[in-house]
Amino acid sequence: MRLFVLKTFVCVLLAASAVQGQITTADVRVRVTSPGCDKLKDVYLIVNGDELHPVKLDQDGTCRWKTDLGDDTILTSTASFSLRADLKRSGCKKAEAIETKNQADLVFSCCDGPFRNVNVKIEPPMLASYDRYVRSFAADRNPVGCREFAMFEKGQGAINSAKFDDEDVYLHLGPFNPKRQPVGLFLNKVVVDDRTLVLTRDGVVYRMTVQRAKGQSRSAPGLSSNAISVDIKTLGDLKFERAEFQVIK
C-alpha cells in the first residue's frame, strides 16, 4: 500500500515536471553533450529553418553557448532549432522553456555524419531556392522533424552540411514559398560524391518525371503528361539552360 502511494506520488511529480509552458524569449542557451564538443568552433544556430540567416553563438563555458536574438524573439512552442558546427549539423529540436529565467534551453547531441556540402550553379543566373525536409535525428533528445530553406539570389550557392540519410533536399527555380510544397528537383538522387553533375533542361525534365513516377516529389506517384508539359513550359519560360551540382564530402 505504502509502495503504491509512493509510486503514485512519483508519477504525479514526473507528470508535473513534464508539463511545460511556452515562453516568448530572445535568450537562447545551447549545450552540446556529445564527445568532442569542447573542440567545436564557429557554432551557429538555424532558427525556424532559416538557413539564410544563421545565428552565431557565443561561447558560454565548456560545450555551452548562448545568444540574444534581440527583437527577433521566438516562441518555444513553435520555434525549431538546429546546430551548425564546422561542417557538421545536428537534427532539429524544440527548446525547453525555462520560465524562471525566461530562457529557451537546447541540448544537442552533435554531430554524427556523413555530411556533404553541395555547390549549386544555375545557368543563366536566376533566383533559386531549396527546401530541406529534415527527419528526427535519433541521437537527439526530444528530436523533431523540420523544414529548412534558403535562397540563391543569382542561382549560385551551397547547401551545407547535408545529411542525405536523414533529410530530403529539393531545389526550386524561383523564390522560397513557405505555403506551397512546390515540385522541386529531388537532389538526394541527383548528387554524386566527388564529382560535378551537369543537368540540362531535358535532364531536369527527365529527373522530375522519374521523381513523380516514384512518388519522390512529396506527392503520390504518377506519370501525368500534363505535369511534364508544365515542367517543360516552366523551364522554357525561365530560359533555364543547365544546372551544375558539385558535392564535396
Partner 1 sequence: MALLSEGQMIPSAPPPPRLKRFAVHAAFSYAKEDADYVRRVGDALPKGIKVHDYKTRDGILKVVGLDLKKTLKHIYQYEAMFVFAFISKAYAESEYAQIEWEAAKRAAKHKRGYLIPVRLEETDMVISQTWLDGTLPAAQVADLIEGAIRRPPPAEWWFYLSTQVKVAAAAALLTLVLSAYPIYLWLWPSRTWLKSADANVDGIIAHVVNDGPKSATIVGKRLKFGSLPIEDSELRLDKSESPTIAHGERDVKLITMALATKCGADGFLVNKRKVEPLLGQQPITLEIDIRESDDTPGKSRRRIVTFPAARLKPLVRRLVLGYETLCP
Q: What SS3 class is residue 249?
A: coil
**Which residues pair with residue 199 across a beta bridge?**
243
Nearer to partner 1, 176 or 206 (CB): 176
Nearer to partner 1, 99 or 165 (CB): 99
Contact 113, 100 (CB under 8 A): no
Nearer to partner 1, 106 or 247 (CB): 106
Residues that bind partner 1 (CB under 8 A): 21-24, 26, 47-50, 69, 71-79, 97, 99, 102, 147, 177-179
Angstrom distance (rounded) from CA 228 to CA 54? 36
| Residue 118 C-beta: closest distance to partner 1, Å | 22
| Residue 24 C-beta: closest distance to partner 1, Å | 4
How buried is 124 (Cβ within 10 angstroms: 0-12 exposed, 13-18 middle, 19+ buried)? exposed
| Residue 43 C-beta: closest distance to partner 1, Å | 19
**Which residues pair with residue 43 across a beta bridge?**
85
Sign of CA dihedral 113, 183, 54, 143: negative
Nearer to partner 1, 35 or 178 (CB): 178
Nearer to partner 1, 145 or 203 (CB): 145
**Which residues pair with residue 116 across a beta bridge?**
162
Is the bond preceding residue 124 a cis peptide, omega within 30 degrees? yes
Q: How many residues does the chain have?
A: 249
Contact 135, 166 (CB under 8 A): yes
| Residue 216 C-beta: closest distance to partner 1, Å | 22
Nearer to partner 1, 17 or 78 (CB): 78
| Residue 27 C-beta: closest distance to partner 1, Å | 13
Residue with cell 511534364: 228
| Residue 44 C-beta: closest distance to partner 1, Å | 15
| Residue 101 C-beta: closest distance to partner 1, Å | 12
Nearer to partner 1, 79 or 185 (CB): 79
Torsions phi, psi for 229 (to 5 deg) = -60, -40
Angstrom distance (rounded) from CA 30 to CA 45? 9
